[in-house]
Amino acid sequence: MPDSAPLLETVVVQPTPFCNINCRYCYLPDRNDKTLMAQSTIATLFEKVFSSGWVGEGLTVIWHAGEPLVLPISFYEAAFETIEALRPRNLHLLHSIQTNGMLINPAWCDFFKTRDINVGVSIDGPQRMHDAQRITRSGRGTFEKTLAGIRALRQHNVPFHVISVLSEAAMEAPREMLDFYIAEGIEDICFNVEESEGAHVSGLFAAGDAQGRFRRFLETFWTLSRQGREIRFIREVDGMLPRVFRPNECSMRNAQVEPFGMMNVDCHGNVSSFSPELLGLKNGDYGDFILGNIHTESLESMRRSRAMKAMTRDISLGVEACRGSCEYFSVCGGGEQTRRDRQLHSNPHVILQPDTNGADRFDTGRVRQAKGS
């Protein structure tokens, strides 16, 4: 393992693993668990982060890996006050919340605006696509409540972006997807590709040629969107342009293949790196992906742990395989190396593999940065 200190740019915090809905493709194994992160855990976490020497000029904190809005606003008021009291004065800190949107109301909108929070809403396009996957525990669709949340954001002039998971049906309907976004005043869009997550087997990957179908979808969607001015930002295109058009002397980072480039902390204070998908998953080779607990261990001891060494070794091998075989390596830097083995080899175990979704799948704070706002 290199002795150079990490450069930590994203901390993903799981305030609770509980989610008020039950999406068919969700990767979280404990979304019925209503445990809440203690304020003391937040204080300990950011005391160690800010004193680590690993943080540069900016840090994004993403509240994610469960439905963050099931907690009251008072929880975040207390958490943000704690973090602000600890924050070094020269550090720019951005809070980001990724939500299913169903609980957004005027009080949340006021909170988002007052705290300048980057808001991402998960909506999978028109109702027929969204409700096919994003359902309640009783099997009902969630589209209407999610759309009501989006409309509340617009009514209160809260900037937001959406993340849409592209199913097999959505891949075949770029015009329908675009028409929906335009009709609802959605200007900033991010796409994730539906994957085989846990017990969920993606029909998209089962059908084959997922990469080619995604390329065709994106080309058509981008071409149609550029015929008007309604769509301002498409992450998969606009977010990549700075990576493509950059001076030769400018290096290109991929924090999701760097040890502690991204740090993920569950509601109990357990720490992982590389991707929040790893929280709660089991694997003996990597110590269930847990590097330690924020209450009992230092970040440096976690960086030098056996689990981190094993993950770093295997991720590095994956990155080097990408470097040697992919003409796009200079743009993606190896993508997101955390993937399910069943996607590639029909094996139910978890391993570390290249990902076609790219390096920014979870870093929703970068939407604002990529737009330069």
Q: Which of 352, 274, 276, 262 is nearest to 314 (CA)?
A: 352
CB atoms within 10 A of CB 268: 15
Residue 134 CB burial class (10 angstroms; 0-12, 13-18, ≥19):
buried
What average pLDDT does the chain have? 87
User: What pLDDT is stored for residue 352 in this prediction?
Assistant: 40
Three-class SS of residue 189?
strand
Q: What pLDDT digit, counting tens, does each position of 51-99 carry?
A: 999 999 999 999 998 999 999 999 999 999 999 999 999 999 999 999 9
Q: Which two tokens stand for residue 202?
A: 């993606």
Whether the CB-CB separation of 265 and 294 falls below 8 Å is answered with yes
pTM: 0.88
- For tokens 């570390």, the residue is 352
241: nearest Cα among 233, 249, 58, 354: 233
Closest CA to 314 of 274, 369, 261, 371: 274
**C-alpha of 128 from chain center:** 24
Tell me which DSSP letter residue 5 carries: P
Alpha-carbon torsion (240, 241, 242, 248), positive or negative:
positive
**Which H helix or E strand runs over 162?**
strand 160-166
HSE-up of 344 (CA within 13 Å, CB side)?
13
Distance CA 235, CA 241 (A): 9
What was the pLDDT predicted at 357? 39
Contact status, residue 36 vs residue 76, Cβ threshold 8 Å? no
CA separation for the pair 170, 221 (Å, rounded)? 11
Return the bridge partners of 182, or none.
Answer: none
CA atoms within 13 A on the CB side of 199: 4
Q: What is the mean pLDDT of each run of 10 residues along the chain (373 residues)?
A: 81 96 85 95 98 96 95 98 97 97 98 97 98 95 98 98 95 97 97 75 73 92 96 92 81 85 96 84 82 97 93 89 85 68 33 38 49 49
Q: Which residue has the tokens 């330069």?
A: 372
CA pair distance 291, 311, nearest whole angstrom: 10
pLDDT attached to residue 186 = 98
Per DSSP, the residues of 90-150 read T-EEEEEEEE-STT--HHHHHHHHHHT-EEEEE--SSHHHHHHH-B-TTS-B-HHHHHHHH
pLDDT at 299: 97
The continuous run of DSSP H or E covering 49 comes out as helix 39-51
Distance CA 373, CA 366 (A): 10
What tokens were used for 112?
A: 């988002």
Q: Quickly tell me which residue has 């550029």 as its tokens.
A: 226
8-state DSSP, 6: P
3-state secondary structure of 234: strand
Token pair listed for 169 = 């049906």
Residue 327 is classified by DSSP as T
Report the 10 Å Cβ neighbour count for 299. 22
Residues 6+ positions from 111 with CB-CB distance below 8 Å: 73, 76, 77, 117
Cα atoms in the 13 Å half-sphere on the side-chain side of 251: 3
Q: What integer pLDDT is reported at residue 200 of this predicted model?
A: 64
